[in-house]
Amino acid sequence: MSNIPTPHIEAKKEDIARIVLMPGDPLRAKKIAETYLEDIKLVNSVRNMFMYTGNYKNIKVTIAGSGMGCPSIGIYSYELFKFYDVDYIIRVGSAGSYSEKINVYDIFNVKEAFGESNYAKIAANIDSNIIQSGEKLFNKIEEVAKKNNIEIHSGRCHSSDVFYRYEDSMKFAKENNLDVVEMESYALFANAIATNKQAACLLTVSDSFITKEVTTSEERQNNFLQMIELALETSLELK
């Protein structure tokens, strides 16, 4: 299997680093790689799900798009963990805030993901709608943030399967003690457990259910850099 691509990733095994940062948007992966990495190489373009590998302060890092939703990140993260010997995946994405204490552009380190599907049961035989992030990786992010004076929040993330809900989102959030919402962490954490690897999820708040603030796609691509820098500095600690 060493040099044979999966159905969704054409990279050779040696082209993928053991540490992967995973934004949802493949164009954001391109932006991150071009901004922070040296000697970058495009290692995957199947379905335009761009993945780049390069060097960050002399460590090898891969930036890989995941697409939207649990099924999409479920495929890519499983293949990276299982077939490319990736040890750590840090999802870097955007989130909506359910809390008046968590504002637009704040950074959130997901401690546990609340899922709404049976993904974890089918993929990892986990019979729970709440899955913890990798303890080692979560704690390392907290440690690096403190060392670099980066203020972050942590708690429970709603990993939703539905972007447009018919029911009241805030009512659902309060009933389930949810702090923020995105769409991928539940599957990522399940796959990490299934393969005995480590996964974390860092999110920058892009909109608020409280204040009704909303950022544009261009703002999200260009202004989430502190979160990316935190993820990359954490990567240095994983050598």
Is residue 178 within 8 Å of 110, Cβ to Cβ? no
By annotation, the residues acting in catalysis are 207
Measured between alpha carbons, how far is 167 from 181 in angstroms, rounded to an integer? 15
Q: Is 72 helix (H, G, I), strand (E, B) or coil?
A: helix
Give the pair of three-digit tokens for residue 120. 């974890």
Measured between alpha carbons, how far is 154 from 131 in angstroms, rounded to an integer? 14
Interstrand relation of 180-182 and 88-97 (parallel, antiparallel or unpaired): antiparallel
Give the pair of three-digit tokens for residue 31. 């932006």
Give the pair of three-digit tokens for residue 171. 């009512």
Give the pair of three-digit tokens for residue 188. 């990522």
